[in-house]
Structure 1
Amino acid sequence: MTELVEAKGFYPYYPELHYTLPPKKYPIPNDYSVKTTWKHAENQQTVQCKIKYKNGQPEFQILYGTFFEFEVKSNTSVSKAVENYEKAITRNSNKKGSLSGPLLFGLQLQKLRTVRELQARQHIKPAEQYSQKTLIRHAKEFATILKQEFI
């Protein structure tokens, strides 16, 4: 299986960020697009997988066909999107799926994960660049949150 990343995407901030199910729990990026190619039986297949958050929830889209003219979607999970794709190409709803959702979408790629995490931290300024007033305000906000956790 080979992946060609078209748009690396980014991780939304904490309350909006979603993960795949355990045991791996891969973080799900926003504005992500990858073309995945694999050899299935005698022929080679290529699909374009996209993830875009809509109303705080990830939408998983698989485009397939010669010119990627067909599509399947899922708002549930990458595995459900792959299941819908397999149903569409085999026209058999009873067949057990053989493709992995996270693998097809390339969510396991460690290099992309590292790049996204570094990108997310780039907007954070060092404490020396804040004014004294801002540092005091942030410290008070943090203390309030911490106090609520221990009460």
Structure 2
Amino acid sequence: MNSNNNNVKKKEISKENSNYPKSKIIIYKTSKRSFKYNIIEPGFYPSKTYLAYTLKPNAYKIPNEYIVETTYEKKEKTIICSINYIDNRPHYTIKFGSNSDDFISSNYSPTAAANAYLKAYNIKKIEYKQANNPNIGSMSIPNSKMNGIHFFGLHLKQLNHFRENLNGTARIYKPFKDLTRQMQIIRNKSISNDLFFRF
């Protein structure tokens, strides 16, 4: 038996369960985590001149005007992730609460947005505990990290295939009046961010 085999890192097993676009729900599981994606707006890939990619080795294409509701972990935490190109550069937003200011934005990377969200979420959780129990003293903020690609679902093969076929055809968006109240807020937030960064 070759002892070198013991030093070979096992490749993480993953499985994508998708029937998109017939179903807006996509399930993605790895040996460590599971994610449920509700595709609100699939987005589209910009022209090659402006199309951005995630870092290598994966180098996933980054869509524009994309909104997805992501549920993760056993406690089923739910966030809404969106990507919009502003001045030809992708901006990543994560909405994580019921208040209008419960969101973070980053123009750096999906992982930067994911980690900023986790920090903001942990701070809010600590503040809530302290507000409900005056006897709790200062608490350290957990240094949580997450691959933003999984939060934003940029690795989803069926969705990427759909966008590839969509490019070059007319893009149809659900009318604003047909959106839920929460989705109307998200779309308005995307437009507000666009105007903020432009002006």
> Given the two structures, how large is their TM-score scaled by the length of structure 1?
0.73
> Given the two structures, how large is their TM-score scaled by the length of structure 2?
0.56
- SS of the residue 2:162 aligns to: helix
Greater Rg, structure 1 or structure 2?
Answer: 1
Query: Gaps spanning 5+ residues in structure 1: where?
Result: 124-151
- SS of the residue 1:15 aligns to: coil
Deviations 1:67-118 (A, max 9, x none): 6751000000000000100110113667141x22001101011111111111
88 and 104 in structure 1: CA distance in 2 versus 1, 3 angstrom threshold: same
Q: Give 4+ residue runs of structure 1 displaced > 2 Å after superposition.
A: 66-69, 91-94
Query: Gaps spanning 5+ residues in structure 2: where?
Result: 1-34, 124-139, 171-199
User: Corresponding residue for 1:12?
Assistant: 46
Contact 2:96 2:103 in 1 (8 A): yes
Deviations 1:92-151 (A, max 9, x none): 667141x2200110101111111111111448xxxxxxxxxxxxxxxxxxxxxxxxxxxx
Q: Distance in 2 between matches of 1:93 and 1:12?
A: 38
Contact 2:96 2:121 in 1 (8 A): no
Note the aligned Cα RMSD (angstroms): 1.9
1:65 alignment partner, one of 92, 97, 108? 97
62 and 13 in structure 1: CA distance in 2 versus 1, 3 angstrom threshold: same
Deviations 1:29-75 (A, max 9, x none): 000000000125xx321000000000000000000114675100000
Query: How many residues are treated as equivalent by the alignment?
Result: 120
2:143 alignment partner, one of 79, 90, 95? 95
Higher percent of residues as helix: 1
Contact 1:48 1:68 in 2 (8 A): no
Residues 31-40 or 114-123, more deviating: 114-123
- SS of the residue 1:10 aligns to: coil
